[in-house]
Amino acid sequence: MILKNNKTIDEEKEKGLLSEQKAKILIVDDEKDIRKLVGIYLKKQGYKTLEAENGQMAIDIMKEHSDIDLVIMDIMMPGMSGTESCAAIREFSSVPVLFLTAKTQEPDKNEAYDIGGDDFLSKPFEQSELIRKVKALIRRYNVYKGREDNADGILRVGTISIDPYKRVVTKEDEVIHLTDKEFALLFFLVKNRGRSWNLDELYENIWQEKYLPSSSNTVMVHVLRLRQKIEENPAQPEIIRTIYGKGYQVD
């Protein structure tokens, strides 16, 4: 039997499985039959579920239940849409959001990703595809929220480690070469994680100059370059997120 840090590999896998099965998932859809069907699929896997029939109800439930691990939300709902609800949730929570939609147009997906959506599932969908996406999102969320800064001063987010004293950034133990401004921007966002920063705040903090309209492009270019270096998929960033109408944020 293989040992790892005094625990067997099997024990660690079992612990991870139990963590996933205990997860609480919020199902948001204006169609009762869809909520019921998704709930049946999830409960078969051992997940706990809550339901909301509209976007505003989803926001209210999220504020009441801080232990929710995933939101599955229809993107097209009367009144407040799924994207509008997601944008509001992103103001106080980084919980992953899986959108259910009959819409497959790329602009619609881009809008949803921009406001903080994490993945898509087109209707109609197979049970196996839903569960696969749910497990992946919850597993990833558990990894990110479980990362904590160590007493050695190293800052960590996802697979990225930042040594502020040596000014070295590594990704899975491989050094990432950043410019001075890229390092300063990443360090600032990680050090001040949990809140969004707009373009003028970032520019004045990092460049130490008065913000001008032309300065916004400077910040956006540096964020783009950072994402290309540290994100697994720069087109769908998980570390430096865009908060719709707010700016950029690291959780």
Q: Which H helix or E strand runs over 21?
A: helix 9-21
Check whether residue 26 and residue 141 sit in a common domain.
yes
Check whether residue 142 and residue 159 sit in a common domain.
no
Neighbours of 15 (CB within 10 A): 10
Check whether residue 70 and residue 187 sit in a common domain.
no
Between strands 70-74 and 48-52, the pairing is unpaired
Check whether residue 44 and residue 72 sit in a common domain.
yes
Neighbours of 129 (CB within 10 A): 11
Domain boundary among 88, 121, 146: 146
Domain boundary among 146, 175, 197: 146
Check whether residue 66 and residue 184 sit in a common domain.
no
Q: Which domain holds residue 35?
A: 3-146
DSSP string, 68-120: --EEEEES--SSS-HHHHHHHHTTT----EEEEES---HHHHHHHHHTT--EE
pLDDT score recorded for residue 16: 44
Identity (one letter) of the amino acid at 183?
Answer: F
Check whether residue 136 and residue 161 sit in a common domain.
no
C-beta separation of 25 from 42 below 8 A:
yes
C-beta separation of 160 from 230 below 8 A:
yes
pLDDT score recorded for residue 148: 42
Provide φ and ψ at 40, rounded to 5°.
-60, -45
Check whether residue 220 and residue 200 sit in a common domain.
yes
127-133, long-range: CB < 8 A, 24+ apart: 127/41, 130/38, 130/41, 131/41, 131/42, 131/45, 133/98
Q: Give 10-residue mean pLDDT values along the chain (251 residues).
A: 37 43 89 95 94 96 90 93 90 85 63 77 90 87 53 79 85 88 91 89 89 91 95 93 91 85
Neighbours of 212 (CB within 10 A): 10
What is the 8-class DSSP label of residue 165?
T
**Counting Cβ atoms within 10 Å, is residue 194 exposed (0-12), middle (13-18) or buried (19+)?**
exposed
Check whether residue 70 and residue 137 sit in a common domain.
yes
Provide φ and ψ at 101, rounded to 5°.
-155, 150
User: Which positions ≥6 away from 174 have C-beta within 8 Å?
Assistant: none
Check whether residue 135 and residue 13 sit in a common domain.
yes
pLDDT score recorded for residue 163: 86
Domain boundary among 146, 171, 186: 146
CATH code at 32? Answer: 3.40.50.2300
